[in-house]
């Protein structure tokens, strides 16, 4: 398989988004390490996959020849989402923390990826999308580490490996915390820590494919 990057953004913050800045940086690092590689960009903040609903959501449980028009339309989105991943050797996913969980567009993406016969074997329930490098770039407005008042309130990063487990995809994470410190006056004293967290995330991103670039 030739080198191909699937670059996914999900933030609704536009140019002010920290996760978008991180994914853009990572994509640039990947391109430098894979000069012959190709890239597909999906922007779920602007163009999300439709959520599974009562009209089309059961398409994954039925043979395609039994689909209603609504189910066929939903299944087409699933085919596209799975195809994006199948074609990729590397996936970069921006994951901002919204109301202590993932953006709903990421939940919809995961729901579309869990497709018996496509992303997992219906008999063994073994995932078919493994073997790809999935780098998840997390941005969190506050601090959620051990000893902080909201330790354990981040339900995005812990959920994603479980959500994707049936597909065989195994994410690795790089996170920047306290991203609201520069805009929320009450967090002003945390700005040095926010800068340190962002700089550490950027260093990790810059080193992601260093061995590939050096080879």
The closest of 205, 73, 79 to 139, measured between CA atoms, is 205
| Angle between helical axes of 104-113 and 69-87 (0-180°, round to 10) | 90
11 carries a ligand binding annotation: yes
Residues 6+ apart with CB under 8 A from 2: 36, 37, 38, 89
Q: Is 33 a residue whose pLDDT tops 60?
A: yes
Q: Is 165 annotated as a binding residue?
A: no
Handedness of CA 189, 17, 206, 170 (dihedral sign): positive
pLDDT for 213 equals: 57
Q: What is the pLDDT of residue 133?
A: 98
Range of the domain at 142: 4-214
Q: What is the pLDDT of residue 62?
A: 94
- 18 is known to lie in a ligand binding site: yes
The model's confidence at residue 74, banded by pLDDT at 50, 70 and 90, is very high
Banded pLDDT at 214 (limits 50, 70, 90): low
Which of 19, 23, 18, 16 has its CA nearest to residue 40?
A: 23
What is the structure's pLDDT at 215?
Answer: 52
* CA–CA separation, 126 and 117 (whole Å): 10
197 annotated as belonging to a binding site for a ligand: no
Question: According to the model, what pLDDT value does residue 212 have?
Answer: 65
State the total domains in the chain.
Answer: 1
Residue 19 is labelled as binding a ligand: yes
Which class for 134: exposed (0-12), middle (13-18), buried (19 or more C-beta within 10 A)? buried
Position 118 scores a pLDDT of 95
- CATH code assigned at 94: 3.40.50.360
Q: Average pLDDT, stretch 67-94?
A: 98
Provide mean pLDDT across the span 124-152. 95
Q: Specify the pLDDT at position 210.
A: 86
Per the annotation, does 82 bind a ligand? no
């Amino acid at each position: 398989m030739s080198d191909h990057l699937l670059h996914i953004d999900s933030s609704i913050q536009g140019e002010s988004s920290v996760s978008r800045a991180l994914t853009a940086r990572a994509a640039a690092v990947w391109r430098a390490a894979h000069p012959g590689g190709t890239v597909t960009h999906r922007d779920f903040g602007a163009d999300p996959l439709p959520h599974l609903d009562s009209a089309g959501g059961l398409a994954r449980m039925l043979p395609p020849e039994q689909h209603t028009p609504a189910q066929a339309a939903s299944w087409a989105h699933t085919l596209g989402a799975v195809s994006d991943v199948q074609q990729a050797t590397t996936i970069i996913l921006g994951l901002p923390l919204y109301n202590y969980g993932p953006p709903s567009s990421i939940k919809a993406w995961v729901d579309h990826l869990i497709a018996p016969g496509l992303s997992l074997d219906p008999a063994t329930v073994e995932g078919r999308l493994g073997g790809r490098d999935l780098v998840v770039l997390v941005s969190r407005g506050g601090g959620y580490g051990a000893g902080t008042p909201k330790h354990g309130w981040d339900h995005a990063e812990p959920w994603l490996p479980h959500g994707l487990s049936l597909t065989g995809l195994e994410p690795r994470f790089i996170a920047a915390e306290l991203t609201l410190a520069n805009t929320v006056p009450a967090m002003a004293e945390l700005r040095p820590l926010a800068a340190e967290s962002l700089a550490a995330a950027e260093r990790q991103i810059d080193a992601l494919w260093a061995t590939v670039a050096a080879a």
